[in-house]
Structure 1
Amino acid sequence: MSYTELVNIPSGAMSMEGMLGLPDQPRGTVLFAHGSGSSRLSPRNNYVASVLRTAGIGTLLLDLLTPDEDQQAENRFDIALLTRRLADAAAWLAQHPAAHGLPLGLFGASTGAAAALQLAAQADVAAVVSRGGRPDLAGHAALPHVRAPTLLIVGGADTVVIGLNRKALAELQCEKELSIIPGATHLFEEPGALDEVARQARDWFSRHLASPRSAPTSA
């Protein structure tokens, strides 16, 4: 049976609220790092997460910033802060009895992609996927040290972000791929665009996460 749990994850003086969902016999867990101005309730990330769970991959969606913090634009681009919060969530997940021992994947959107890559440069991460992300903001000090296979997905009409992703791709020294979805804009709102994002993310994580075991039954 599948397992879902509303969780609160401590990080310094604050607590991040999130939703952990594990299918039966998960092969790994993907931690979502939302983008600027978004949250764990993002319909796009939730759709991708549902596709992953159907494929046997657990998910953890959470708010990296409090509502008050998110009102200040500079916090949305504070990659060091987002990375610390993401690292605390990954450490918490590694100790959770429902997810302990499962390989970790990271799915980042917008600025969350930079935090995901910074964490992947310093922690044991099995795979990374970026959706319309800013991987360039991970910085020159982090990108060459990422070892996790990384997929960068960008909309074909998101021309500025395509260029920034190409620059980041050149710095990555891991298994890597840039996927451009024709006609899609930054939020992948065009018919079929988000479906393609979810399909590619599912395939990437399915290829690089492999540790099936039974999930506990929700109380």
Structure 2
Amino acid sequence: MISEMVLVPTDDATLSGDFVVPAAARAVVLFAHGSGSSRHSPRNRMVAAELRTAGFGTLLMDLLSEREERHDAITAEHRFDVPLLGRRLVAAIDWLEVQPDTRGLPVVLFGASTGAAAALVAAAERPDRVLTVVSRGGRPDLADGALEHVRAPVLLIVGGQDNEVLKLNQEAARRLRAPHSLRIVEGATHLFEEPGALEQVAETARQWCDDRLRAVRETAAEEE
């Protein structure tokens, strides 16, 4: 297993990430955290750990530099800059493609809150590299015009008590042209802090990714 802290270069910043790849990984999950969070998000780290047990590599990375984080903590200027965050996820996708342990592996984008919008923007930019997009309590509506250009299947997971975000996800789902599914975790609020809620998110995401990988294999077998 590869487990290391990495630096991911982008056009205008170098970003820190925690990179873990089990032996014979089937795909790699790139996490995009939400507004005001970081790669140390305990919720994303819990989901990442569950996915690794199922044979997925993970890259949890900060989407802002340390200087930008300090500025954003005061102004909240960058956390809603979805085009910027999307470009940085594209750079991370390209970085994964040149790493020996992840070259050629399908990429799953897992976004929370505003990170989900950035993930959809990146998926629209790299349609041949992204297997699927998973949104946890996300704001896909903030992806704006990218929604109609996403080709990868999209899974939207929302807490049943997260009423406003649920409504925004339902509206975004109607705009998606790619295959998609909206899953509601009953009784959960925005951060899925209720007992068992986050575990349900992880299991739902794992099963969805398994199904997407199986579909790719079956399509490849039919074409042979």
TM-score (structure 1 length as normaliser): 0.93
Q: Whole-Å Cα distance in 2 between the matches of residues 110 and 138 of structure 1?
A: 11
In structure 1, the partner of 2:137 is 132
Where has structure 1 moved over 4 Å in runs of 4 or more?
A: none
User: Identical aligned pairs, as a percentage?
Assistant: 57
RMSD, aligned α-carbons: 1.4
Which one has more relative contact order, counting CA pairs under 8 Å at least 6 apart?
A: 1
Partner Cα separation in structure 1 for residue 97 and residue 112 of structure 2: 22
1:92-171, aligned counterparts within 5 Å? Answer: 92-123=95-126, 124=128, 125-139=130-144, 141-171=145-175
2: CA distance, partners of 1:149 / 1:114: 14
What's 1:216 paired with?
none
Which SS does the other structure have where 2:102 is aligned?
Answer: coil
| Distance in 2, Cα, partners of 1:103 & 1:121 | 15
Which residue among 164, 167, 176 is the counterpart of 1:172?
176
Deviation string 1:44-102 (CA, Å, 9 cap, x unpaired) is 00000001100001110000012332323120000000001111111111111111010
Task: After TM superposition, give the deviation of residue 13 of structure 1 in Å.
Answer: 3.4
Residues 1:76 and 2:79 aligned together: yes
Residue correspondences, number? 210
TM-score (norm 2): 0.91
Q: Residue 175 of structure 1: CA displacement?
A: 1.2
Contact 2:90 2:125 in 1 (8 A): no
Corresponding letter in the other structure for 1:41: H
Cα distance in 1 for partners of 2:12, 2:188 equals: 39
Q: Which one has a larger percent helix, Structure 1 or Structure 2?
A: 2
Uncovered stretches (5+) of structure 2, i.e. residues with no partner: 218-224
Kindly indicate whether the alpha-carbon contact (under 8 Å) linking 2:17 and 2:62 is maintained by their aligned counterparts in 1: yes
- For 2:161 and 2:141, the matched residues in 1 are separated by 18
Structure 1 regions of 5+ residues with no counterpart? 213-219
